Amino acid sequence: TDFDSKKKRKVAEIYQALNSDPIDVATLRRMAISEGGLLTDEIRCKVWPKLLSVNTDDLPPLPGKELREDNKDYQQVLLDVRRSLRRFPPGMPDDQREGLQEELIDIILHVLKRNPQLHYYQGYHDIVVTFLLVVGDRLATALVEKLSTHHLRDFMDPTMDNTKHILNYLMPIIDQVNPEVHDFMQSAEVGTIFALSWLITWFGHVLSDFRHVVRLYDFFLACHPLMPIYFAAVIVLYREQEVLDCECDMASVHHLLSQIPQDLPYETLISRAGDLFVQFPPSELAREAAQQQAERTAASTFKDFELASVQQRPDTVLRQRFRERLRGEERTKSVLTKPRTNRFVKLAVMGLTVALGAAALAVVKSALEWAPKFELQIFP
């Protein structure tokens, strides 16, 4: 079938990139982002370390049980890991699962011991267990340590200030694409806390199908660290009608949004998240997203896009005027015209949606721009 031949071509391209000298990381990033992601766990074991610049020839020894003695985080980690039953494949024998849970505890304590500047948070184990199930304990330890000191760094501060700062990007993204949904959510005073568990677990805690979780991890590992918040935004935007049909109060909207549908069209949403990142890069949204302490977030250490997509972005002032005029018209027109004006706003703000290929390339460019800094931090 056509699907099988496409899959074979993709596998061949991935192995060609892995076997080239030097390894073609740009192609690996593009493969991780594009439809289907990295396809198999066998491939992920080879590609994830390359996306995180981890040297698999020099892995740390497995952590020992002595880490549990006098460790301030041990009891909390133990509680969280014991509650993580549903994160393991259904039907897995109890002794095998219990063995993996012990490994999970050791990996977390090992990373925290080696990096005292990092602070454990509830939900961190949801990310670590994903790596453990895909690549095994030894490689997972190395990958999680790198991830924790880079992409997850903001979530591991002593306070939640930087995590809140990242959540502050959610509403500006929604506002750029669909002001009607944005204004409805603002009127309901729902805030962004419904997306907190999505963000800090990379959706691992809220999605029941492991295939969807690892597909998203392929995407996020190949991208800028703010990509999970763009993905959160496209989930809300995808549920536009449900949101607008909801009672406009905090409890109702929060309840609706915090119950994430399990049948989302993941490839479509990944494509849209990539498009939105290109059209509205973090550098453009930073002012709206509360600038205080922005220079302290990990995201600010990754050079933001300034791409050819500039031509696609409507002039900000014109866009504001256009939206103000539309909002004025909406107040005076009947309810029946709302969907139409909303569609006009979408067209004006988004322009023509870029194809996934273009978005993937743009995201790869961003990822490669910070790759040299990444290397310098690993090997000072």
- Whether the Cβ atoms of residue 202 and residue 217 lie closer than 8 Å to each other: yes
Tell me what pLDDT residue 82 has: 92
Q: 70-114: per-residue pLDDT in tens? A: 788 999 999 999 988 888 988 899 999 999 999 999 999 999 999
**The pLDDT of residue 210 is above 50:** yes
Residues of the chain with pLDDT > 70, as a percent, come to 76
Enumerate residues 6+ apart whose C-beta is below 8 A from 2. none
Higher-confidence position of 208 and 233: 233
Tell me what pLDDT residue 59 has: 86
Tell me what pLDDT residue 316 has: 46
Q: 259-293: per-residue pLDDT in tens? A: 999 899 999 999 999 999 999 998 888 878 764 34
Tell me what pLDDT residue 60 has: 77
Task: Look up the CATH number of domain 2-155.
Answer: 1.10.8.1310
Tokens of 166: 């990242």
Task: Look up the CATH number of domain 160-290.
Answer: 1.10.472.80
Mean pLDDT of all residues in 328-333: 51
Tell me what pLDDT residue 290 has: 61
**The pLDDT of residue 197 is above 70:** yes
Higher-confidence position of 286 and 337: 286
What's the chain's average pLDDT? 81
- Whether the Cβ atoms of residue 263 and residue 147 lie closer than 8 Å to each other: no
Task: Assign 45 a pLDDT band (cuts: 50, 70, 90).
Answer: very high
Mean pLDDT of all residues in 219-230: 94
Task: Assign 324 a pLDDT band (cuts: 50, 70, 90).
Answer: low
The domain segmentation of the chain, as residue ranges, is: 2-155, 160-290
Tokens of 136: 């095994």
Task: Assign 352 a pLDDT band (cuts: 50, 70, 90).
Answer: very low
**The pLDDT of residue 310 is above 70:** no
**The pLDDT of residue 1 is above 90:** no
Tell me what pLDDT residue 289 has: 79
Tell me what pLDDT residue 141 has: 95
Enumerate residues 6+ apart whose C-beta is below 8 A from 267. 35, 36
Give the CA distances from residue 332 to residues 231, 321, 325, 335, 342, in Å, rounded to whole numbers and listed in that order: 34, 17, 11, 9, 15
Task: Assign 199 a pLDDT band (cuts: 50, 70, 90).
Answer: very high
Residues of the chain with pLDDT > 90, as a percent, come to 63
Q: What gap in Å lies between CA 331 and CA 367, rounded to an integer?
A: 43
Q: What gap in Å lies between CA 241 and CA 252, rounded to an integer?
A: 14
What is the enclosing helix (H) or strand (E) of 35?
A: none
Tell me what pLDDT residue 66 has: 77
Tell me what pLDDT residue 373 has: 43
**The pLDDT of residue 163 is above 80:** yes
Give the least confident one: 161-170, 291-300, 344-353: 344-353
- The reply to whether domains 2-155 and 160-290 share a CATH topology is no
Enumerate residues 6+ apart whose C-beta is below 8 A from 185. 171, 174, 236, 243, 253
**The pLDDT of residue 120 is above 70:** yes
Tell me what pLDDT residue 304 has: 38
Burial 89-120 (b: 16+ CB within 10 A, else e): eeeeeeeeeeebbebbbbbbbbbbeeeeebeb
